Structure 1
Amino acid sequence: MGQEEICAVFARNLNKLMIRENLKQSDLVLKLNVSKAQVSDWCAGKNIPRSNYLASLVDLFGCQLSELMSEKQPAPTNEDGLSEDDKRIIELLHQLTPENRERIVEIIKALASQ
Protein backbone atom coordinates (compact mmCIF):
# COMPACT_ATOMS: atom_id res chain seq x y z
CA MET A 1 0.00 0.00 0.00
CA GLY A 2 1.45 3.36 -1.06
CA GLN A 3 1.56 6.56 0.98
CA GLU A 4 -1.43 8.03 -0.86
CA GLU A 5 -3.53 4.96 -0.11
CA ILE A 6 -2.44 4.94 3.54
CA CYS A 7 -3.49 8.59 3.87
CA ALA A 8 -6.86 7.84 2.28
CA VAL A 9 -7.52 4.88 4.62
CA PHE A 10 -6.51 6.95 7.64
CA ALA A 11 -8.79 9.82 6.56
CA ARG A 12 -11.80 7.49 6.15
CA ASN A 13 -11.22 5.94 9.55
CA LEU A 14 -10.61 9.28 11.26
CA ASN A 15 -13.80 10.73 9.80
CA LYS A 16 -15.77 7.66 10.95
CA LEU A 17 -14.43 8.01 14.48
CA MET A 18 -15.19 11.73 14.49
CA ILE A 19 -18.79 10.98 13.50
CA ARG A 20 -19.04 8.28 16.16
CA GLU A 21 -17.83 10.70 18.83
CA ASN A 22 -19.70 13.69 17.36
CA LEU A 23 -16.46 15.67 17.02
CA LYS A 24 -15.68 18.37 14.49
CA GLN A 25 -12.30 19.28 13.06
CA SER A 26 -12.24 22.31 15.36
CA ASP A 27 -12.63 19.98 18.36
CA LEU A 28 -9.52 18.04 17.31
CA VAL A 29 -7.61 21.29 16.88
CA LEU A 30 -8.37 22.22 20.49
CA LYS A 31 -7.96 18.76 22.04
CA LEU A 32 -4.68 17.97 20.29
CA ASN A 33 -3.29 21.51 20.19
CA VAL A 34 -2.60 21.34 16.45
CA SER A 35 -3.33 23.70 13.58
CA LYS A 36 -6.54 23.76 11.59
CA ALA A 37 -4.50 23.00 8.48
CA GLN A 38 -3.07 19.82 10.03
CA VAL A 39 -6.48 18.45 10.97
CA SER A 40 -7.93 19.46 7.61
CA ASP A 41 -5.12 17.64 5.80
CA TRP A 42 -5.64 14.51 7.95
CA CYS A 43 -9.39 14.49 7.26
CA ALA A 44 -8.86 15.08 3.54
CA GLY A 45 -6.30 12.28 3.24
CA LYS A 46 -3.43 14.59 2.32
CA ASN A 47 -1.18 13.22 5.07
CA ILE A 48 -1.23 11.37 8.37
CA PRO A 49 -0.22 12.64 11.80
CA ARG A 50 3.14 12.03 13.41
CA SER A 51 3.28 9.20 15.92
CA ASN A 52 2.72 11.41 18.97
CA TYR A 53 -0.53 12.70 17.46
CA LEU A 54 -1.56 9.18 16.44
CA ALA A 55 -1.14 8.14 20.07
CA SER A 56 -3.23 11.13 21.17
CA LEU A 57 -5.96 10.20 18.69
CA VAL A 58 -6.00 6.61 19.97
CA ASP A 59 -6.44 7.95 23.51
CA LEU A 60 -9.06 10.49 22.45
CA PHE A 61 -11.20 7.94 20.61
CA GLY A 62 -10.50 5.05 22.97
CA CYS A 63 -9.62 2.89 20.00
CA GLN A 64 -6.78 0.73 18.74
CA LEU A 65 -4.23 2.12 16.30
CA SER A 66 -5.52 -0.41 13.77
CA GLU A 67 -8.92 1.34 13.83
CA LEU A 68 -7.17 4.42 12.47
CA MET A 69 -4.68 2.80 10.12
CA SER A 70 -6.26 -0.41 8.86
CA GLU A 71 -8.40 -0.68 5.77
CA LYS A 72 -10.26 -3.71 7.09
CA GLN A 73 -12.47 -3.04 10.06
CA PRO A 74 -14.15 -5.78 12.04
CA ALA A 75 -17.68 -6.40 10.78
CA PRO A 76 -20.38 -5.56 13.30
CA THR A 77 -22.08 -8.57 14.81
CA ASN A 78 -25.76 -9.06 15.51
CA GLU A 79 -24.95 -8.41 19.16
CA ASP A 80 -24.06 -4.78 18.41
CA GLY A 81 -27.68 -3.74 18.89
CA LEU A 82 -27.95 -2.08 15.49
CA SER A 83 -30.89 -2.71 13.23
CA GLU A 84 -30.40 -3.15 9.49
CA ASP A 85 -31.75 0.39 9.01
CA ASP A 86 -29.18 1.73 11.49
CA LYS A 87 -26.41 -0.04 9.62
CA ARG A 88 -27.59 1.36 6.26
CA ILE A 89 -27.71 4.88 7.69
CA ILE A 90 -24.20 4.57 9.11
CA GLU A 91 -22.87 3.29 5.79
CA LEU A 92 -24.43 6.22 3.95
CA LEU A 93 -23.05 8.71 6.49
CA HIS A 94 -19.55 7.38 5.92
CA GLN A 95 -19.85 8.27 2.24
CA LEU A 96 -20.56 11.95 2.94
CA THR A 97 -18.06 14.76 3.23
CA PRO A 98 -17.38 15.98 6.79
CA GLU A 99 -19.37 19.16 6.08
CA ASN A 100 -22.40 17.23 4.85
CA ARG A 101 -22.19 14.83 7.81
CA GLU A 102 -22.36 17.83 10.12
CA ARG A 103 -25.43 19.11 8.27
CA ILE A 104 -27.10 15.70 8.70
CA VAL A 105 -26.28 15.69 12.42
CA GLU A 106 -27.93 19.11 12.79
CA ILE A 107 -31.03 17.91 10.93
CA ILE A 108 -31.26 14.80 13.13
CA LYS A 109 -30.89 16.91 16.28
CA ALA A 110 -33.69 19.19 15.09
CA LEU A 111 -35.96 16.24 14.31
CA ALA A 112 -35.19 14.56 17.65
CA SER A 113 -36.12 17.69 19.57
CA GLN A 114 -39.61 17.92 17.98
Structure 2
Amino acid sequence: MPIEDIKLKFAQNLKNIMQKRNKTQSDLVKDLSFRQATVSDWLNGKKYPRMDKVEKLANYLGVSINELLMQSVPESPVPALQLTDQEKSMIKKYRQLNADGKSRVDYVLNMEFDLVNNSAEKEEQNLG
Protein backbone atom coordinates (compact mmCIF):
# COMPACT_ATOMS: atom_id res chain seq x y z
CA MET A 1 0.00 0.00 0.00
CA PRO A 2 1.42 3.42 -0.93
CA ILE A 3 2.50 5.64 1.97
CA GLU A 4 -0.07 8.27 1.01
CA ASP A 5 -2.86 5.71 1.47
CA ILE A 6 -1.42 4.68 4.84
CA LYS A 7 -1.37 8.32 5.99
CA LEU A 8 -4.97 8.83 4.91
CA LYS A 9 -6.13 5.61 6.59
CA PHE A 10 -4.39 6.56 9.82
CA ALA A 11 -6.01 10.01 9.66
CA GLN A 12 -9.44 8.45 9.14
CA ASN A 13 -8.97 5.97 11.99
CA LEU A 14 -7.70 8.69 14.33
CA LYS A 15 -10.64 10.98 13.52
CA ASN A 16 -13.17 8.16 14.05
CA ILE A 17 -11.68 7.11 17.37
CA MET A 18 -11.40 10.71 18.58
CA GLN A 19 -15.05 11.27 17.72
CA LYS A 20 -16.11 8.14 19.62
CA ARG A 21 -14.06 9.26 22.65
CA ASN A 22 -15.29 12.87 22.44
CA LYS A 23 -11.74 14.13 21.98
CA THR A 24 -10.73 17.16 19.96
CA GLN A 25 -7.54 18.17 18.27
CA SER A 26 -7.02 20.65 21.09
CA ASP A 27 -7.33 17.82 23.64
CA LEU A 28 -4.49 15.94 21.95
CA VAL A 29 -2.31 19.03 21.85
CA LYS A 30 -2.97 19.99 25.47
CA ASP A 31 -3.09 16.55 27.10
CA LEU A 32 -0.25 14.91 25.18
CA SER A 33 1.97 17.96 24.60
CA PHE A 34 1.90 17.52 20.83
CA ARG A 35 2.35 20.47 18.49
CA GLN A 36 -0.85 21.84 16.96
CA ALA A 37 0.62 21.75 13.44
CA THR A 38 1.73 18.14 13.87
CA VAL A 39 -1.70 16.93 15.00
CA SER A 40 -3.29 18.89 12.17
CA ASP A 41 -0.98 17.23 9.65
CA TRP A 42 -1.86 13.77 11.02
CA LEU A 43 -5.59 14.48 10.86
CA ASN A 44 -5.28 15.80 7.31
CA GLY A 45 -3.25 12.80 6.14
CA LYS A 46 -0.18 14.91 5.38
CA LYS A 47 2.11 13.20 7.88
CA TYR A 48 2.36 9.94 9.73
CA PRO A 49 3.46 9.84 13.38
CA ARG A 50 6.46 7.96 14.74
CA MET A 51 5.61 4.75 16.57
CA ASP A 52 6.23 6.30 20.00
CA LYS A 53 3.57 8.90 19.17
CA VAL A 54 1.20 6.20 17.88
CA GLU A 55 1.65 4.34 21.17
CA LYS A 56 1.01 7.51 23.18
CA LEU A 57 -2.14 8.21 21.13
CA ALA A 58 -3.39 4.64 21.56
CA ASN A 59 -2.88 4.76 25.34
CA TYR A 60 -4.55 8.15 25.61
CA LEU A 61 -7.54 7.11 23.50
CA GLY A 62 -7.86 3.71 25.17
CA VAL A 63 -7.41 1.69 21.98
CA SER A 64 -4.83 -0.71 20.65
CA ILE A 65 -2.12 0.46 18.31
CA ASN A 66 -3.66 -1.83 15.69
CA GLU A 67 -6.94 0.07 15.85
CA LEU A 68 -5.11 3.23 14.85
CA LEU A 69 -3.16 1.52 12.08
CA MET A 70 -5.59 -1.08 10.70
CA GLN A 71 -7.33 -0.88 7.38
CA SER A 72 -10.71 -1.00 9.02
CA VAL A 73 -11.40 -0.16 12.61
CA PRO A 74 -13.81 -2.67 14.13
CA GLU A 75 -16.91 -1.22 15.66
CA SER A 76 -16.53 -1.71 19.37
CA PRO A 77 -19.12 -0.41 21.74
CA VAL A 78 -18.02 2.55 23.77
CA PRO A 79 -18.86 1.90 27.40
CA ALA A 80 -21.73 3.97 28.69
CA LEU A 81 -19.92 4.88 31.88
CA GLN A 82 -20.66 8.21 33.42
CA LEU A 83 -17.42 9.46 34.90
CA THR A 84 -17.06 12.28 37.39
CA ASP A 85 -14.63 15.10 36.64
CA GLN A 86 -12.30 13.67 39.28
CA GLU A 87 -12.39 10.22 37.63
CA LYS A 88 -11.70 11.76 34.22
CA SER A 89 -8.76 13.66 35.66
CA MET A 90 -7.36 10.52 37.28
CA ILE A 91 -7.68 8.54 34.03
CA LYS A 92 -5.87 11.27 32.10
CA LYS A 93 -3.06 11.23 34.64
CA TYR A 94 -2.89 7.42 34.61
CA ARG A 95 -2.61 7.36 30.83
CA GLN A 96 0.38 9.71 31.02
CA LEU A 97 2.33 7.29 33.24
CA ASN A 98 4.92 4.85 31.96
CA ALA A 99 4.52 1.11 32.58
CA ASP A 100 6.25 1.28 35.99
CA GLY A 101 4.06 4.14 37.16
CA LYS A 102 0.92 2.33 36.04
CA SER A 103 2.09 -0.80 37.83
CA ARG A 104 2.56 1.13 41.09
CA VAL A 105 -0.87 2.76 40.80
CA ASP A 106 -2.45 -0.64 40.06
CA TYR A 107 -0.72 -2.09 43.12
CA VAL A 108 -2.01 0.66 45.42
CA LEU A 109 -5.55 0.36 44.04
CA ASN A 110 -5.53 -3.42 44.44
CA MET A 111 -4.23 -3.13 48.00
CA GLU A 112 -6.93 -0.60 48.87
CA PHE A 113 -9.60 -2.74 47.23
CA ASP A 114 -8.42 -5.84 49.16
CA LEU A 115 -8.37 -3.85 52.41
CA VAL A 116 -11.97 -2.70 51.91
CA ASN A 117 -13.15 -6.20 50.92
CA ASN A 118 -11.35 -7.86 53.83
CA SER A 119 -12.92 -5.38 56.25
CA ALA A 120 -16.38 -6.10 54.84
CA GLU A 121 -15.81 -9.87 55.12
CA LYS A 122 -14.66 -9.56 58.74
CA GLU A 123 -17.69 -7.46 59.55
CA GLU A 124 -19.98 -10.10 58.03
CA GLN A 125 -18.25 -12.85 60.05
CA ASN A 126 -18.68 -10.86 63.26
CA LEU A 127 -22.40 -10.38 62.53
CA GLY A 128 -22.97 -14.02 61.52
Shorter-chain TM band: 0.5 to 0.7
Q: Taking structure 2 as the reference length, what is the TM-score of the superposition?
A: 0.56
Q: Percent identity?
A: 37
Q: Taking structure 1 as the reference length, what is the TM-score of the superposition?
A: 0.63
8 Å Cα contact 1:21/1:61 also seen in 2: yes
Q: Bigger radius of gyration, 1 or 2? A: 2
Number of residue pairs aligned between Structure 1 and Structure 2: 78
Structure 1 stretches of 4+ with a deviation exceeding 4 A read none
Match of 1:19 in 2: 19
Match of 1:44 in 2: 44
Match of 1:3 in 2: 3
Structure 1 residues not aligned, in runs of 5+: 82-114
Aligned counterparts, 1:64-83, within 5 A? 64-74=64-74
RMSD over aligned Cα atoms: 1.7
Higher relative contact order (CA 8 A, sep 6+): 1
Q: Encode CA deviations 1:84-113: one digit per residue, 9 max, x unaligned.
A: xxxxxxxxxxxxxxxxxxxxxxxxxxxxxx
**Residues 1:59 and 2:90 aligned together:** no
Match of 1:93 in 2: none
Structure 2 residues not aligned, in runs of 5+: 79-128
